Chains A and B, each alone.
Chain A
């Protein structure tokens, strides 16, 4: 069952009609609907590529949050072998909002880390909707230290609406945990490749995204504040999220122009949610290509290049 976004209403009607026809034909084998249904399919496909050719920033935000989009767990299961999750921050708890551990990418051992939102009510609650608590950032720091010690590249998959605004999270030093995680990203001497697969939101995202290379899926978003949050502060009206999404320049295309990200990964027509396998494969190809750029590179250079890149950020405007 396809989940339609509000701007896909026309599409839902066409696809619904085609499905109805086929359902009728299944009950009455005498009926020949295939020609008519195929025409509707074609119409739907054309509309889909039309809709997705030039998505507005707000629509991209909706697509980035689409529940059927592949999540971190899907990427890890499809792209990596021998995934061996490692848990806990050794201080307080394990944070299920962030997955992480050892794995192989094309047989090569790596550390993979990523925020997981969950895909049904039970897993969403268990994963706290991908909103990390301090334990999560401290687990990330641990895993990055491990990677650095054994000279393993680190891959982070970013997908979060932000850090969890809870009482315990603040008491246990959310701010410090995020700061230390960003600091760790900047200090390791192994390649750090980050891919924003859905939402890269505020401090909760930057703590995992401070990479040598940052790639972003075509319809993912990366922003300092959610469009709704920005709208409620600057417009005093959360309903102005379309305007805020526009103003924030949160699309992969704008961020590439600003050189905040290094690469845009094309999504299948209609977005990653329409064809998760294709989206996952595209991310896999990008990871392989980006990792290869670090072959034979000096450890100190990997670190100093990353620091230099972030120091120089902001030199280019739109």
Chain B
């Protein structure tokens, strides 16, 4: 049974083709076809104003959209042994890593940062689907452990944005070992009495869903994200029947009790700020109090008079 379904391929292609032409000021919503001006798109955090389709957003843009004034510091993640199995397929694993680094300008498939969300100190880990389909290998495990340790150290909540095609096959069994490893990590946060919030984004599949992505105190998903263990294609091949519309999408999981909430990306920062303050027993903030990520038209935090 395969963890990574073939659906990941066309997604990656469409993603890269978009990136190959950064000078292109217009892009087309791949759901409704509306032509969108790039500024309009980035202001809407890569959601379509016409149909609410949620497109790929880079981890850095996501972090910028979450933290007060868009300010955050990255948390360093220890590098694992490179290519521990000397994996041999049609392309050497180190070459695949190098290629992914070049196309994404990121080091690996997860970025960890700390900063304030609605004036609450938080650690945020974001999985990067554009980096080898966000696949979970030793580095992703190390990133979650580093994030958990930092959260415990700061006595801060941990928020994790998941996105993955599943396992990093080139790390074989060590990829599978990230399921228990990351489970220990998120349990450290929970045992320290700190909130662990998961935001599931499109797509979250395989061993990622079956470990840290389903162990949150609160499960939030972006609209219409594919969230599953076995991919729809694998299931259709097994049961030999067509799956219902919306199967394994966020709203379907909400109906089936696997999620707490489905939240639009542009609402995510307010949502998290409210949740964190509720869970940490902090005073509520009055509406409009949150400094915007761009910093424009916002009152500096120290001048608001609230703690």
Residue-wise interface mask of B (220-257) relative to A, using a CB-CB cutoff of 8 A (1 in contact, 0 not): 00000001111000110011010100011000000011
Which residues on A sit within 8 Å (CB–CB) of B241?
A: 167
Smallest Cβ distance from B11 to chain A, in angstroms?
Answer: 14
Q: Which 8 A-B pairs have the closest CB atoms?
A: A165-B230, A317-B84, A229-B2, A175-B209, A178-B210, A162-B1, A224-B176, A176-B214
User: Which chain A residues (219-235) contact chain B, with CB distance < 8 Å?
Assistant: 222-226, 229-230, 232-235
In the assembled complex, B173 has its CB within 8 A of some CB on chain A = yes
Which residues on B sit within 8 Å (CB–CB) of A182?
A: 179-180, 183, 210-211
In the assembled complex, A249 has its CB within 8 A of some CB on chain B = yes
Residue-wise interface mask of B (57-76) relative to A, using a CB-CB cutoff of 8 A (1 in contact, 0 not): 00000000000000000000
Say yes or no: A170 contacts B86, CB within 8 Å. Answer: no
Given contacts A234-B89, A235-B89, A314-B81, whether A258 and B174 have CB atoms under 8 Å apart is yes
In the assembled complex, B77 has its CB within 8 A of some CB on chain A = no
What are 30 pairs between A and B in contact, CB < 8 Å? A162-B1, A165-B1, A167-B241, A169-B230, A170-B235, A173-B214, A174-B230, A175-B210, A175-B213, A175-B227, A175-B229, A178-B210, A179-B211, A180-B214, A180-B215, A182-B211, A203-B210, A203-B229, A205-B176, A223-B176, A230-B2, A234-B89, A247-B88, A248-B169, A248-B173, A250-B172, A260-B174, A310-B177, A314-B81, A316-B84
A179 to B84, CA, bound (A): 25
Given contacts A170-B228, A176-B258, A232-B2, whether A314 and B210 have CB atoms under 8 Å apart is no
Partner of B4 from the list A233, A250, A255 (CB cut-off 8 Å) is A233
Say yes or no: B167 contacts A225, CB within 8 Å. Answer: yes
Say yes or no: B229 contacts A234, CB within 8 Å. Answer: no
In the assembled complex, A22 has its CB within 8 A of some CB on chain B = no
In the assembled complex, A122 has its CB within 8 A of some CB on chain B = no
Which residues on A sit within 8 Å (CB–CB) of B141?
A: 314
In the assembled complex, B184 has its CB within 8 A of some CB on chain A = yes
**Which A residues form the contact surface with B (CB < 8 A)?**
161-167, 169-176, 178-180, 182-183, 185-187, 201-207, 210, 222-226, 229-230, 232-235, 243-244, 246-250, 255, 258, 260, 307, 310-311, 313-318
Partner of B173 from the list A165, A179, A222 (CB cut-off 8 Å) is A222
Partner of A167 from the list B175, B209, B235 (CB cut-off 8 Å) is B235
B contact residues, total (Cβ < 8 Å)? 58
In the assembled complex, B187 has its CB within 8 A of some CB on chain A = yes
**Which B residues form the contact surface with A (CB < 8 A)?**
1-4, 6, 80-81, 83-90, 138, 141, 145, 167, 169, 171-177, 179-181, 183-185, 187, 206-207, 209-215, 227-230, 234-235, 238-239, 241, 243, 247-248, 256-258
Smallest Cβ distance from B202 to chain A, in angstroms?
Answer: 15
A314 to B211, CA, bound (A): 18
Which residues on A sit within 8 Å (CB–CB) of B184?
A: 186, 307, 310-311
Which residues on A sit within 8 Å (CB–CB) of B81?
A: 314-315, 317
Say yes or no: B235 contacts A314, CB within 8 Å. Answer: no
A169 to B213, CA, bound (A): 17
A169 to B185, CA, bound (A): 27
Smallest Cβ distance from A117 to chain B, in angstroms?
Answer: 14
A207 to B214, CA, bound (A): 14
Say yes or no: A202 contacts B258, CB within 8 Å. Answer: no
Number of A-B pairs, beta carbon distance below 8 Å:
191
Q: Is the interface of A mostly helix, strand, loop or mixed?
A: helix
**Nearest A residue to B8, CB-CB:** A233
Say yes or no: B215 contacts A183, CB within 8 Å. Answer: yes
**Nearest A residue to B96, CB-CB:** A234
Smallest Cβ distance from B142 to chain A, in angstroms?
Answer: 8
Say yes or no: A175 contacts B4, CB within 8 Å. Answer: no
A77 to B230, CA, bound (A): 33
Smallest Cβ distance from B18 to chain A, in angstroms?
Answer: 24
Given contacts A186-B187, A210-B180, A249-B85, whether A235 and B90 have CB atoms under 8 Å apart is yes
Say yes or no: A247 contacts B175, CB within 8 Å. Answer: no
Say yes or no: A203 contacts B207, CB within 8 Å. Answer: yes
Say yes or no: B169 contacts A234, CB within 8 Å. Answer: yes
Smallest Cβ distance from A197 to chain B, in angstroms?
Answer: 17
**Nearest A residue to B141, CB-CB:** A314
Smallest Cβ distance from B97 to chain A, in angstroms?
Answer: 15
Smallest Cβ distance from A304 to chain B, in angstroms?
Answer: 10
Smallest Cβ distance from A135 to chain B, in angstroms?
Answer: 15
Smallest Cβ distance from B236 to chain A, in angstroms?
Answer: 9
User: Given known contacts A225-B169, A229-B2, A230-B169, what 4 new A-B pairs fall within 8 Å (CB)?
Assistant: A202-B176, A203-B229, A226-B2, A247-B85
Given contacts A173-B258, A174-B229, whether A260 and B180 have CB atoms under 8 Å apart is no
A104 to B60, CA, bound (A): 55
